Chains A and B, each alone.
Chain A
């Protein structure tokens, strides 16, 4: 089954969990120094980022081939009220009782590369519960499952490109990248733009997380300003009296190629 290839010698099994945090941090530091020395701004996430062990065999080695988008790629799938129930944006009402944890509202605007709102488009989120546990079968973290929290939500953006979710603040959780590896608390986001080329799956983080510097997934965005774009800001105007604290996180999709038609602007 295994093909022996030139990449075989580079394999560092993620299961061995052999590295220490100090070793991972040293690798992160070295890449960061290299990036600073090069002096060329990178705004995207690196696919080849060895401190994230699972990426070693799962990144392409060739640069992507640049093409002009055609027909289908200039459009995105359409989602509507048929697809998404309004209640799906509230992750705290999916069960009989209130989930454990800090109730929060997450809101922000989705815009395209020209700053135009991405209207009536699908946003999907998923996350761990307050104890850092996913409902997923493969999550073996010995933290309590919350019978009142699934951790999955959907909504459509409004005419201003704004999404809004009510959820609870997820906890940080351990993973097997290296010994004593912990992910900063995050919410996974999936977004569609106006064109399929704008498809984005990413993670939103919370301000001031002490695990940022230690996390090889977050640090795979080597530019500090670029990775700061994944961090929400606390917004007291979103916070509601005696109910939930509020966070704002705006999302910018890549530039668009399609000529804007009148109806898009209405």
Chain B
């Protein structure tokens, strides 16, 4: 059924911390690995070693440059580079689900995970058109719609050791920038993190009510903070030779004269 459930018992999803993500793309690779070897059609690559490589991924990391607004005491703020992992946000009002003509796309009542039943998918692509976040990709070899499953085949998988029963991307992240949990429970790790750090929705104006939350980056430290605190080692770091000497000095003087 592609009508959305009125409400879901649990709201499983991710918190992605833009402050800690270092942009290593490890989550991209572990996601591709897990989801190629496990549930559903493998994530294909086409022309992988040729001149026009392309492939299906369920999670991708963008990088953005942010220039904080100019302030009185900080007229030329430093630009920040923000790495921005993006996978399905398992939206409460998921437009990708309601457009699907076959019922292949659905949102689970028990935990809110948005999934595609690949044997029902006709590959019309409409759900990818309806997703504002680019979270769905049509596999070019299998011709069915692929998307993040929230690693549904890991999180409930009793064959895995306890510590591995979380999404591959979360398990892999060396910076601890991705967190997995239940947003319906106000005391869960993800609910608390999101509340403390001001977790935000992407494109709220699209009305999709994403479950996944993004933690904003903290402002960059600045040198001007504190009272003229130049490092205590600074005197030792004073440049020793201000003028070039030897051959370079001669060259400098000769060129000056010309």
Binding partners A and B: no
